[in-house]
Amino acid sequence: MEKYERINKKYRYNQDKLVYTKEQVIERLRSKFKAKEFSKEKLLDLVNDDQLEYAKIFSCLYIDDSAVLLKLFSDGEREIHKEDIMDNRENPLNPKKVKKKEWEYNHILLDEQEGRRLDIILESQDDTYISGFIVRGNSEKLNRYLNALIEGAQIQLKAASEDINDEYFQFYLEKIEMFGFLK
């Protein structure tokens, strides 16, 4: 608990600097990870997603720079990619069984599975701050980084707890310290 009290003190001092608008988050993702925007319509399954409200999804970004991806994936995640690559080679997509309009979508899924691409889907309920996100392609590091960027606004809007005993708040404190957001 002493650790969280120490981080919480730094958090309280820097609290106003830890709230990022949706535009600021996108700019950070572009500059730090070379993220590029794409249309949400390309992800055919997104309309049925139960985590985000489709109409409130305002941006989809992808990361496909191999040097950046190398830093974002853990050894365990890379092992899963290797297994998926082997499985996909043994059971390749059959162009005759995939509808033409689903071809690009299927290749996006393959790139996510095999570690050549990460997709970030961002939702905003109030058109100012990000209310929810999904990282497709499984990068725990990128998930945690986004949590550190987004949770400050949720706390300000009282959609998240600021109780030092709350495990989600503790998780947030760990992430903002881990990624150097506290001075």
Asked whether the beta carbons of 149 and 142 are under 8 A apart, the reply is: no
Structure confidence at residue 39 (pLDDT)? 97
pLDDT tens for 96-146 read 788 888 999 999 999 999 999 999 999 999 999 999 999 999 899 999 999
Backbone angles phi, psi at 37, to 5 degrees: -85, 150
Residues of the chain with pLDDT under 70: none
Residues contacting 67, CB < 8 A, separation 6+: none
Structure confidence at residue 93 (pLDDT)? 80
For the entire predicted model, the pTM comes to 0.92
As a three-state string, the secondary structure of 35-96 is: CEEECHHHCCCHHHCCCCCHHHEEEEEEECCHHHHHHHCCHHHHHHHHHHHHHHHHCCCCCC
Structure confidence at residue 120 (pLDDT)? 98
How distant, in Å, are the alpha carbons of 21, 34, 77, 157, 183 from that of 28? 11, 9, 24, 21, 18
